[in-house]
Amino acid sequence: MAEKNGDGPKKDKKFDPDERFRYIGFEVESGKLGEHFKSDAEKESWIKRVLAKREKGSKLREETSFDKPRVASYEKIVLTITSVILIASLFMPWFSGYKEYEVKAVVAAPAPVEEVLTDSAGVALTTDSAGIELAVDSAVVAVEVLEAETETDVLATIKGSAEEAGETGDESFEAEMTAPVTDDEGFASISGAIKRTEYRKEYYSSSAIGGFGMLGMVFSSGIILKLTGVLFIIYVLLCLGMAGMTLYALYGVKGDEDTMALKLKDLMKFGWIPLGIWFGCFVLSVFGASYSFDTTDMLKQLGTSYGIGTYLGLLGYGFYISLGCFIMNAVKGVEI
């Protein structure tokens, strides 16, 4: 028969409530920690301080985290500012973009290329309307024109000279010429004109309030744009609701500091919802959508269909300011 093992489970020692009043250095391991006070006078001074605190009804130490407010005064100021900015951001540019259009101008016809058969004949191409002097080396142009075998080559020569002298920015030049004319003395002259096309941009922006005017076109499009429009409305309502409720929690809630702090903590956790809305709209833009309206004469950022580029390209600084305020408030809610 196997011997019984004496190392069986031991019974738990019954807890003695008086044990919590026994302190190390006194009843437990007494005498091993040495004297706590440097002198009897110091001991008496500490005893008097403790008795004085008891007479006042204070049960805590002089400095403890329980005495520190959960929401400091400077944090109240920051939360107030972010709440006010949330409301003000609704009137800032939430959406921005530009329209691009062409401006075509016909530059005054340059002076004819006269006496191109001479050695030192001067050729000056000037544009009175544009105010750009197309100063071209006479000998170079004369030789290039003489060497050109076709009318297209002559046009390229005039166009190239004009571009080198006068092209700036988003501009393009198109040269036209007349057929060479020979006078009675056998000299040929060429006249022409240079058409200049300039691409200009006009920038536009719209606030969150103004964005409601575009919801009709948004809701008339596909399901992706409809969902984006609904999320946009929720985001705007959160700007108003969160700002108003935060100000009320800071200055309207009755009670002590802890009551106000707990109210703020419950409220600030909703600050992560706008960040989720932004990310949700980003995910929706990945799938893309087609428009139910013509975007030819509208903002360049709209393109021909809705996508990531449209979503990120249209959002202005007003939207990102509001998003930053939401995140700041949410982070503070975690700290409380």
Same-domain pairing of 88 and 132: no
56 found inside a domain: no
Q: Which of 203, 204, 211 is nearest to 90 (CA)?
A: 211
- One domain, residues 269 and 290: yes
Last-in-domain residue among 163, 190, 217: 190
- If asked whether residues 125 and 252 sit together in one domain, one would say no
- pLDDT at 130 (0 to 100): 39
For residue 114, being part of any structural domain is answered with yes
Give the contacts of 323 (CB within 8 A, at least 6 positions apart): 274, 275, 278
What is the pairing mode between strands 188-189 and 171-177?
unpaired
Inside any domain, residue 30 = no
Q: Are both 118 and 170 inside the same structural domain?
A: yes
Q: Does a structural domain hold residue 301?
A: yes
Span 195-232, pLDDT tens digits: 677 778 888 899 999 999 889 889 988 899 999 999 99
At 206 the pLDDT is 92
Bridge partner residues of 175 (DSSP): 194
Torsion of CA 106, 108, 113, 114, to 10 degrees: 150
Q: Where are the beta strands (DSSP E) in the chain?
A: 93-107, 125-127, 132-134, 171-177, 181-182, 188-189, 192-207, 289-290, 305-306
Give the residue from 190, 218, 234 where a domain finishes: 190
Same domain, 144 and 214: no
The list of the chain residues with pLDDT below 50 reads 1-4, 110-151, 154, 165-169
In a domain, 121, yes or no: yes
Co-location of 221 and 331 in the same domain: yes
Overall number of domains in the chain: 2
Instruction: Say yes or no: 133 and 178 in one domain.
Output: yes
81 and 166 fall within a common domain: no
C-alpha closest to that of 311 among 95, 127, 7, 11: 95
pLDDT at residue 23, rounded to an integer: 59
Query: What distances in angstroms separate CA 278 from CA 107, 234, 281, 319, 324, one per listed residue?
Result: 50, 11, 5, 10, 12
DSSP calls for 80-92: HHHHHHHHHHTTS
The token pair at 119 is 């050695």
Distance CA 161, CA 135 (A): 8
Residues 6+ apart with CB under 8 A from 13: none
Other Cβ atoms closer than 10 A to 88? 15
Contacts for 266 with CB less than 8 Å, ≥ 6 apart: none
Q: Is residue 259 part of a domain?
A: yes
DSSP code per residue over 238-261: HHHHHHHHHHHHHHT--S-HHHHH
Residue 275 lies in a domain: yes
pLDDT of the residue at 247 = 92
C-alpha–C-alpha distance, residues 40 and 46, integer Å: 10
> Do the domain assignments include residue 10?
no
pLDDT at 245: 93
Indicate if 72 and 217 belong to the same structural domain: yes
For residues 230 and 315, membership in a common domain is answered with: yes
Range of the domain at 127: 110-190
Together in a domain, 241 and 176: no
241 and 314 in a single domain? The answer is yes
Query: Could you give phi then psi for residue 25, rounded to 5 degrees?
Result: 100, -15
Boundary (domain end) residue, out of 161, 190, 219: 190
DSSP 133: E
